Structure 1
């Protein structure tokens, strides 16, 4: 059996995440972002163990106060920021047990070089008691979406961006995905969301919900800033032979006059629920209902993520599952 990251909807032993605490990064959004992360942790912890990184003694005290009585393990590690989907390891499953794959992290193409982030993968793998295999090329977990059966979905905007692996072309990237993660087929989508500082992570755009079934957003309103990217993704997915289901996008969401990469697609599938980011738009309820229809047997919970988004992502970006 090839070592692969199982599909997210398969059973988990735990979920790793992190608590925001850096005043200089979060500024006025720190306290409300902490509240949003705590709400997410409470939802996930109802059906699986949560392991929470806290960067400082004060952050741990604040997290413990917010999460009293919740099934959480607290771990002190001086990380840079909370985006464990990208800084943490990818957990792979095989006939020989679990392994963790750690990739080079360069701050999303050199944008955010924060002390501690390059050590997160080793710390988390050690905490999960899973051996870590390091790989020398740049890859963030949010840049790929997998079905556990060898299919990978990604974007050209991110994985072919010269700020990641400038000497690797499409064929070499696919070769590395095959060699290091057991991924045999790659669907290349085009652009990600407007103003996404990850250069178009796929977990904001497209999510596999079953083998051969891809969920994509459809434009909401007449001024959706990502309408063209959505239409292009639909065309590519259908040409690739996947079944496509659609989720309403949040539409045009702005902060201080600037479009932000708000996405309902950045959900996390826990053992007993799906936690879906919502933003207080007219499309929230329809999006949560559409996701719920894709995951029968799990509670689908819409939680506000406006303040987490000020840091650049949402619930999927800050979580990493350990397969059971």
Structure 2
């Protein structure tokens, strides 16, 4: 049996979103986050389908009518009724592997980032989607606690992650590093784990998810956040992370091509003033494009230019995420990609190729 964890740039059937409800933590800024999600859906639907789970039929009807007015083809949207606790599909969505040439979706346990927040409905969401007949690929349940934002794959057997998250005793306290690597090897086909010891963002609830810090752009390239302000509280940890990345080697022994992403000005919550986790590393790769979170900051343009260098064959599209960081995540955190072969009906031409 051969298997691998897909890279994000593998051809996709859809992007999965979990729409926030009126009783969620988003309630005080619900119109703002819905506007951001609508912009994401409009952009993604130009390239592929969007799978949206909603809490009730009224929301489905409202969103369907709104997206029709925005000119989105009905075939590009798939709504499923499924209750949720929050909107972070990256962490409660399934992880897709290729096993002997077939897509398999793995449903890992989600506990609200180590029990910080209620998560029972989020943890059950993938099984509800499976029961609704959404997936063509088989879904397998796993007992390991593992969030999609905690790991990043090069598609060739290498995994990038952080010690602060995966080795945190609030996730899988009975597993040490060696045991956890063995599970990742057996379940995801991982051959190497690259561990980052340093790096964090203030306002982050996830214990340093790697998708806020450093990301594969291709098997040879890693984009990462760089703090160039010595007075900033993140400076020392992110400089140490940069040194770690410089010391990493690919499977062939060569160093990685590293693309630094700029550091935006501090963003603060307008209600109580706490710092929010603004990061450009939380970009999303879709078919033919890359969606990049921006924050109405002078560094936005430099971040877009850096990622255009990393993805020269893809359109680079900014998405205003000032509303998203109010709940301590960003663009990538809201999404989960579903590779070609995941959905019962892809809505794509059989002649499309991996891009």
Give the TM-score normalised by the residue count of structure 2.
Answer: 0.87
Of residues 156, 166, 170, the one that matches 1:163 is 170
Identify the range of structure 1 (229-238 vs 123-132) with the bigger mean alpha-carbon deviation: 123-132
Question: Which residue of the partner structure matches residue 15 of structure 1?
Answer: 15
Gaps of 5+ in 2: 250-255, 341-355
Residue 187 of structure 1 pairs with residue 203 of structure 2: no
Q: Shift in Å at residue 7 of structure 1? A: 1.1
Residue 103 of structure 1 pairs with residue 108 of structure 2: yes
Matches of 2:127 and 2:157, distance apart in 1:
25
Question: Which residue of the partner structure matches residue 314 of structure 1?
Answer: 330
Q: Shift in Å at residue 250 of structure 1? A: 1.8
Partner deviation per Cα, 1:34-73 (whole Å, 9 max, x = no partner) = 1101101111111111111111223223322432232211
Question: Which residue of the partner structure matches residue 151 of structure 1?
Answer: 158
Contact residue 221 and residue 310 of structure 2 kept, 8 A: no
Contact residue 22 and residue 81 of structure 1 kept, 8 A: no
Matches of 2:232 and 2:297, distance apart in 1:
13
Q: 1:188 to 1:172 in 2, by over 3 A?
A: same
Of residues 204, 208, 213, the one that matches 1:196 is 204
Q: Secondary structure at the match of 1:16?
A: strand
Matches of 1:152 and 1:24, distance apart in 2:
33
Contact residue 193 and residue 261 of structure 1 kept, 8 A: yes
Aligned residues: 324
Question: Which residue of the partner structure matches residue 245 of structure 1?
Answer: 259
Matches of 1:185 and 1:212, distance apart in 2:
14
Q: Secondary structure at the match of 2:63?
A: helix
Q: Shift in Å at residue 195 of structure 1? A: 2.5
Question: Which residue of the partner structure matches residue 48 of structure 1?
Answer: 48
Question: Which residue of the partner structure matches residue 282 of structure 1?
Answer: 298
Question: Which residue of the partner structure matches residue 144 of structure 2?
Answer: 137
Q: 1:28 to 1:185 in 2, by over 3 A?
A: same
The two structures, once aligned, show a CA RMSD in angstroms of: 1.7
Residue 92 of structure 1 pairs with residue 97 of structure 2: yes
Contact residue 85 and residue 320 of structure 1 kept, 8 A: yes
Q: Shift in Å at residue 115 of structure 1? A: 4.2
Residue 38 of structure 1 pairs with residue 52 of structure 2: no
Residue 234 of structure 1 pairs with residue 248 of structure 2: no
Gaps of 5+ in 1: none
Matches of 1:202 and 1:66, distance apart in 2:
34
Q: Secondary structure at the match of 1:310?
A: helix
Q: Secondary structure at the match of 1:166?
A: coil
Identify the range of structure 1 (216-225 vs 298-307) with the bigger mean alpha-carbon deviation: 216-225
Q: Shift in Å at residue 24 of structure 1? A: 4.0
Question: Which residue of the partner structure matches residue 215 of structure 1?
Answer: 223
Q: Secondary structure at the match of 2:338?
A: strand
Find the structure with the greater CA-based Rg.
Answer: 2
Give the TM-score normalised by the residue count of structure 1.
Answer: 0.95
Matches of 1:124 and 1:207, distance apart in 2:
28
Matches of 2:100 and 2:144, distance apart in 1:
26
Identify the range of structure 1 (1-10 vs 239-248) with the bigger mean alpha-carbon deviation: 1-10
Q: 1:309 to 1:59 in 2, by over 3 A?
A: farther
